[in-house]
Amino acid sequence: MKKEEGLPECIHVDDSSVPEGYHMVEVQGKCGIIEMYFPKAPITEEEREYLYRRWAESALRSYKKMTTI
């Protein structure tokens, strides 16, 4: 399998780099990784799963807009 150009072989996220009070959502695309930060809120585990999924979708849409010519 051919490695895609610009895609890192190893992904390491340092949790200390996430601003206090935020969650980080990471999306992997053809040209690399996009990270987006969203404010933390007091939510249930069920709400958290829903929000993470929505945030990942939002990050992916943003990534596609940035990489579309």
State yes or no: pLDDT of 22 exceeds 60.
Answer: yes
> pTM for the full model?
0.39
Give the Cα separation of 41 and 20 in Å (integer).
12
Across-strand partners of 22?
Answer: 39
**The predicted structure's pLDDT at residue 68:** 63
**The predicted structure's pLDDT at residue 16:** 63
Q: Which two three-digit tokens encode residue 27?
A: 């999306």
26, 34 in Cβ contact below 8 A?
yes
Kindly report, residue by residue over 26-58, the tens digit of the pLDDT: 766 666 666 777 777 777 778 777 877 787 777
All structural domains of the chain with their residue ranges: 20-67
Kindly report, residue by residue over 6-20, the tens digit of the pLDDT: 434 444 445 567 777
